[in-house]
Amino acid sequence: MKIKKIIAAGLTVSMVTVLAACGSDKEAAPSGASDSNQGTEASPGNSDSAKEAQKSSSGSDVTITFATNVVGEKASALEAACKKFEEETGYTVDFQAPGESYEELMKTRMSANELPDVFTTHGWSVARYSDYLMPVNDLPWASDIDEQIKPVITDAEGNMFVLPVDMDIAGIVYNVSVLEEAQVDPDEIKTWDDFSAACEKIKAAGKTPVHIGGKDNWTIGQFFDWAAPSYYVTDAANSQADALKNGTFDTATWEKVAGLLDSWVKAGYLNEDSLTADYNSDIQTLADGTTAFCFYGNSAVVDARGVNADAKIGMIPIPAASAKDEPSLIAGEDIAVGVWKDSPVKNEATELLNYLARPEVTKGIAEAAGCKTGITTAQSEIGEIGTYLEKYADVETFPYFDREYLPSGMWDVMCATGADILAQKDGAIENAAKTMEQNFNDKYTN
């Protein structure tokens, strides 16, 4: 699998937006998000009571705050690892997973320079958090970081700031049985036109082609993170990647991206409750075979299997916008963990980071995420997910769109304008493009 990492000099400061899904992971999911914006409310910073409990490494009572954007099985696996670390060391780990409020809470903490001792970077270890994180280059496991993820987590000076517990390499997940019943061959989906044709067959078979849980609005941003590169980046002959990085946003192209989503709404390819359904309903319908496609990474496969152990879930590359282009995959940080450089318990926090880097610990967390490990000393057993990653090993891979090509704050804009499209507001496509351009220009120059 080829990772295509495009770095533009001088844009590091401006390229500081969030994921869902991650990303998720988004994230944010954020960004992904990427699928990273759910959870219970909790502040990711050092509370006053936590600070009072923190002492130097010579003290017997140490509390390490650990904040993460991840949710679901991934958060459970991280928390379980922290519990075992507590048993081994006698330290206390204050584990916090605030869900979709994570980004705003972290922004507040950054402005006050009061960050959690340990935290996940939801795709932004270099662009957003590098000024706040301790470099990890000299830690014992740094030389074991997989070469596929190194370009994503390394700055221009060669510094790395996180432990990449896993690697987020994603396409579009789908229910195998639904496609089989609709007589859709996933290997024949090469372009968005092919994808729409598949959706028409699935709709005719009585199933929902695409499910979006827009109540958790990061799920809307997931679509744009998946679709936008095929219009702006992946086609080498028409790529606008350099233009975006140099501060030029083409509204006509965004109208095409927004128009794709709009066409699916009008054609009835989305669930009717796309504005009131949430991520959990996405996973439920994917797992029970009433939905064909969801725009999430591999953790969605793990979550779907948690709902229905017998569910057959696959993955296809992201279709191209043009028949002259090829399908692609997206890649980035998923569970990436760093230590706040000004932590009052930095030594103990580093101990926790080293603990998470143990092969058996990394392996377990990566398996909960449904992803390959980020260090070569551990190999996750992820079943069919691994089979699909091997199948598409030669598919070109690009960074998450919002993380790489948009300035800070654009993720929320994508989500909001997408919600207007789902609601079928008048002029939603044109307004989406104009709003994106205006915010791009404003945020790029600030």
Write down the pLDDT at residue 14: 32
Write down the pLDDT at residue 386: 86
Q: Which of 53-67, 118-132, 348-362 has the lowest mean pLDDT?
A: 53-67
Write down the pLDDT at residue 24: 36
Element (H, E) at 256: helix 251-267
Write down the pLDDT at residue 191: 98
Res. 182: pLDDT tops 80: yes
Res. 427: pLDDT tops 80: yes
Sign for the CA dihedral angle at 145, 149, 153, 158 comes to positive
pLDDT-based confidence at 151, cuts 50/70/90?
Answer: confident
pLDDT-based confidence at 152, cuts 50/70/90?
Answer: confident
Res. 356: pLDDT tops 90: yes
Q: Do domains 48-170+332-403 and 172-331+406-445 have the same CATH topology?
A: yes
What the block records as the tokens of 194 is 């092919």
Res. 180: pLDDT tops 90: yes
Write down the pLDDT at residue 222: 94
Distance (Å, whole) CA 10 – CA 13: 7
Provide mean pLDDT across the span 80-104. Answer: 94
All structural domains of the chain with their residue ranges: 48-170+332-403, 172-331+406-445
Write down the pLDDT at residue 217: 87
Q: The whole model's pTM is what?
A: 0.75
Q: What tens digit of pLDDT does each residue of 369-405 get?
A: 889 999 999 999 988 888 898 899 889 988 889 988 9
Res. 25: pLDDT tops 70: no
> Considering only CA atoms, which of 367, 315, 416, 273 is closest in space to residue 80?
367
Provide mean pLDDT across the span 10-32. Answer: 34
Percent of the chain at pLDDT exceeding 90: 70
| Rounded (5°) CA angle 169-171-176 | 125
Decide yes or no: CATH 3.40.190.10 for domain 172-331+406-445.
yes
Res. 122: pLDDT tops 80: yes
Assess contact for 371 and 380: CB atoms under 8 A: yes
**For residue 356, which amino acid is it?**
L
Name the DSSP class of 303: H
Assess contact for 146 and 352: CB atoms under 8 A: no
Assess contact for 256 and 196: CB atoms under 8 A: no
Res. 22: pLDDT tops 70: no
- What is the CATH code of the structural domain delimited by 48-170+332-403? 3.40.190.10
Strand partners, 3: 397
Write down the pLDDT at residue 392: 92
Please give the distance of CA 258 from its chain centroid, rounded to a whole number: 20
Q: What tens digit of pLDDT does each residue of 212-262 get?
A: 999 998 899 999 999 999 999 999 888 999 999 999 999 999 999 999 999
Provide mean pLDDT across the span 303-323. Answer: 95
pLDDT-based confidence at 7, cuts 50/70/90?
Answer: very low
Write down the pLDDT at residue 27: 36
Write down the pLDDT at residue 64: 98
Provide Rg for the chain, Cα atoms.
21
Res. 267: pLDDT tops 50: yes
